Chain A
Amino acid sequence: MTTDFKRRQITGRGIPVTGNDIDTDRIIPARYLKAVVFEGLGEHAFEDARKQNPEHPFNSPAYRGASVLVVGQNFGCGSSREHAPQALMRWGIRAIVGGSFGEIFAGNCVMLGMPCLRASQQDIEWLQREIGRSPQASITVDVEKQEVRLGDRAIKASMPDGPRNQLVNGTWDSTSVLLEAGAAIEATAGRLPYVKGF
C-alpha cells in the first residue's frame, strides 16, 4: 500500500468562521498543550469560543463533517503551537481558505499536508455566505489551479509557490527532502565562522 501525499484538489463541505485576527490560543487553548501526543485535540478545537457562543459554527450540526474551513484575515496569528492545525485537522478540516494567515500557522499547515489558500475579502464573504445558505454544498479547493469552486462559480485563491509545489508534488513531508542534501549540510555548517570557532 502506498500513501498518496499529493494534495492537488480537496473536495468537501464548507464551514465558515467569520472575524479577523483569530489567534491560535483561540483555536486551541494552552491547557491542551499539556500533553505529549496530538491525539484527541480535535474535540477541543475552538473549545472556549464554542462555550461562550452557542452559535459558533463548530457547534452546529449543519457543519458536522465539513472539511473546507473558510476564514477572514490573519487567521492563526500568534503562538507557533502546531496544536492549532493539528486540532483542526483532527476535527476533520483538510483545507483552509482565508483572507490571510499567520505565517507560522500557515507553515505548520503545510507540514501536515493541509493547504491554506488566500482569496479576496469580497470572495471570502461570498463563500462564507453561500456556505451558510447551503451547508451541504460541495466545495473544491484546487491547489494546482489556485481556485476554489462552489456551484457554477470559481474564485481565485492563491498560495506561495514553494508550499504549493510541495503540496501538489507530494513533497510536503520535508524531513526526507531535507535529508537528501546529504553532506552538503555539514559542508555549509563547516563554512560558518561560528561553527569553525572563528
Chain B
Amino acid sequence: MARTLLDKVWEAHTVRTLPSGQTQLLIGLHLIHEVTTPQAFQMLKELKLKVRMPERTFGTLDHIIPTADQSRPYADPEAEEMAQHMYRNMKDFNLQLFDMSTGKQGIVHVIGPELGLTQPGMTIACGDSHTSTHGAVGAIAFGIGTTQVRDVLATQCLAMAKPKLRQVRVEGSLARGVYAKDVILWIINQLGVKGGVGYAYEYAGPVIERMTMEERLTVCNMSIEGGARCGYVNPDQTTIDYLRGKPYAPSGDAFERATRWWLGGVATEPGASFDDVKRIDGARIEPVVTWGINPEMSVGVSQSIPSPEAQPEAERPTFREALAHMGFQAGQPIKGAKIDVAFVGSCTNGRLSDLRIAAEIARKGKVAKHVRALIVPGSQQVAKAAETEGLHEIFQAAGFQWRKAGCSMCLGMNDDKLRGREMSASSSNRNFIGRQGSPTGRTLLMSPAMVAAAAIAGEVADVREILR
C-alpha cells in the first residue's frame, strides 16, 4: 500500500510503543530558545540528567532580545537574566548556540531552514508552537511545552500519538498581489481555527508545488493557527535546490544520496490515501485581512466584516466580543480601516523574499505621518542579505524603521509593543487580544505587501491597486 510522508517518518522514528499506547518517538532535531527552556534545564539539573544527544540540539536567542540597541547588558533586566541563563545552560550542557556573535542568530524557525539544520524526513521539536514551519522542507515538526523540552533534552524522545492526516490541496493559480500568507489565511478561514485539531496537514496541489521554499515556510508556519499541530509539503526539486550548499545540509556525494532518500524514501507515494482531503480554489483567493481576535476571522480586502447573526449560534458570543474589541461594526468594509502601526517581520514573514516584496511597495510612497512602521528581519543572515541588496535604504527612505533580527512585535516580549488601543497592520501570525504587547491593542494580519501598502496609505489598502 502506498504510504504518506507522515507514515514513513513516524515509523522510522518509532523507538517503541509505550504502555499507554502512545509512540515513543525519536526527535531528530531539537531547536531551543531562551524563553521556554530555563525551567527545563533546571528540571534536568534537579534530576541529575545529561542531554542525551547534545549534537542534535541547537539554540538561539530570539523572543526577548531588543531589535534596536542589542548591546549587553540589555536595558531590560529580565531579558538580560533570560539571556544569561541561556548562555549558562548552553555552556553547562555543551550545546551549540547561535548568538549575535555568530552572524547566524535569528528567529528559531527562520534559522533552522536557512542553516540547513531542517531537512526532509526528520522529526523536529521546539518549545514554540510555530515549529510547524519546518514542515515546509518535508519534516514532521511540532511545538511542545517546557516539560516536553525536558523530555527531549533527557531522552531525545517524546511520548506522542500519531495524528490523522488531511491533505489540503490548493488548486489553480494565484492572482497578482496574492501571496503565500493570503493562501494560509484563506485556508484557515475556510477550515477554521479548530478545523485541524487531531490532524497533520499535508499541503499539496499546483499552487503549493509552484511555491518557493520561503513561501512554503509561510504556509506551514500557520498550520498551528488552523489547529493542526504540524503541516508539511512533500520534498521535491524546489526542496533540493533550496538545501544544496546550506552549511548544515549534507555535501558532495552525501547530498546526492540524501536527495535519493528525500524523494524516494520520504515523500508521500502516489496513490496514498488520507483521512480527509480538502480543496481550495487558488484563483478565488484575494488579499486576506483579519478583522477579529483569532486568525479565522478574516475577509478578502474587498469584502465587509461579517455579522454575528450570520454565524452558528455557538460562535456568536466570540464574534460579538471580537467586534467590540476591534471597534468594528458588522457590515463595515475592512478596506479603509485606519492603522497606527505597521510591522513586517516574524517567523511567518520575516524572510528575504518577504522584505523584497515589502520594499517593492515601499518604493512607491512614504509611510503615513501617523503610522509607526517597523521592518524586523527574521535573522542576521536575512538582514545581511537585505542590506547587500540595499533594501534597508529603500525602507528608511520611505520612513520605515530598519531593525535587528528577533521576534519583536509578533508577541511583544521586548520593547516593540503596541501602546493602548493602537491598531496594527502586521505580517505576523496571531491577532489574539493583547498579543502584540498591549492588553487593549488590536491586530490586523495580512501579507507583507499589504502591510507596506497599509503603512503608506495609513489605512488598510488593496495592494493590487498599487501593483497595477
Contact surface of A with B, Cβ cutoff 8 Å: 18-21, 23, 25-26, 29-31, 33-38, 48-49, 51-52, 72-74, 77-82, 85, 100-104, 107-108, 111-112, 121, 160-163, 165-166, 169, 171, 174-175, 177-179, 181, 184-185, 188-189, 191-195, 197-198
Contact = CB atoms under 8 A, between A and B. Distances in A.
Interface string B116-158: 0001011000011101000000000011111110110011111
B282 interface: no
A165 B20 contact: yes
A23 B432 contact: yes
B145 A178 contact: no
In the complex, the 8 A-B pairs of residues with the closest C-beta atoms, listed nearest first:
A82-B145, A108-B145, A162-B22, A48-B439, A36-B38, A111-B147, A165-B20, A80-B143
B190 interface: no
B7 interface: no
A30 B433 CA distance: 11
A26 B434 contact: yes
Nearest to B257: A198
Contacts of B39: 36-38, 82
B16 A177 contact: no
B404 interface: no
B42 interface: yes
A75 to B, nearest CB: 10
9 contacts: A23-B430, A33-B36, A34-B76, A74-B193, A80-B145, A81-B36, A166-B20, A174-B147, A184-B15
B21 A165 contact: yes
A52 to B, nearest CB: 7
Given A104-B142, A184-B16, 10 more contacts: A19-B321, A23-B430, A25-B433, A34-B82, A77-B294, A80-B127, A80-B145, A165-B20, A169-B20, A198-B255
B189 to A, nearest CB: 14
Interface stretch (B102-110, B207-215, B312-320): B312-320
Interface in B275-297: 293-294
B154 A179 contact: yes
B24 A178 contact: yes
Contact of B159 (A25, A80, A102, A177): A177
Given A77-B193, A188-B13, A112 B18 contact: no
A103 B90 CA distance: 29
Contacts of A161: 20-21
Interface string B207-228: 0000000000000000011010
Contacts of A185: 15, 26, 52, 155-157
Given A29-B434, A80-B36, A166-B20, A192 B12 contact: yes
Contacts, number: 220
A47 B127 CA distance: 23
Contacts of B433: 25-26, 48-49
Contacts of B225: 78
Given A37-B39, A48-B439, A188-B14, A162 B20 contact: yes
B313 to A, nearest CB: 10
B367 interface: no
B258 interface: yes
B130 to A, nearest CB: 9
A109 B119 CA distance: 30
Contacts of A163: 20, 22
A107 B78 CA distance: 28
B24 to A, nearest CB: 6
A77 B227 contact: yes
Nearest to B254: A198
A37 B42 contact: yes
Interface of B: 12-16, 18-22, 24, 26, 28, 35-36, 38-39, 42, 47, 49, 52-53, 63-64, 76, 78-79, 81-82, 85, 119, 121-122, 127-129, 131, 142-148, 150-151, 154-159, 161, 193-194, 197-198, 224-225, 227, 229, 250, 254-255, 257-258, 261, 265, 293-294, 314-315, 317-318, 321, 411-413, 430, 432-435, 437, 439-440
A107 B161 CA distance: 10
Contacts of B321: 19
A58 B155 CA distance: 38
B155 A179 contact: yes
Contact of A34 (B47, B413, B439): B413
Contacts of A26: 432-434
B129 A162 contact: no
A20 B316 CA distance: 10
B129 A78 contact: yes
A143 to B, nearest CB: 13
B314 A121 contact: yes
A81 B145 contact: yes
B194 A51 contact: no
Contacts of A193: 121, 257-258, 261, 265
A79 B132 CA distance: 12
B150 A175 contact: yes
B250 A197 contact: yes
B294 A160 contact: no
A194 B156 contact: no
Contacts of A80: 36, 127-129, 131, 143-145
Contacts of A37: 38-39, 42
Nearest to B122: A194
Contacts of B79: 34
Contacts of A35: 78
A177 B435 CA distance: 36
B36 A102 contact: no
A178 B52 CA distance: 12
Contacts of B49: 175
A31 B413 contact: yes
B26 A175 contact: no
A153 B13 CA distance: 44
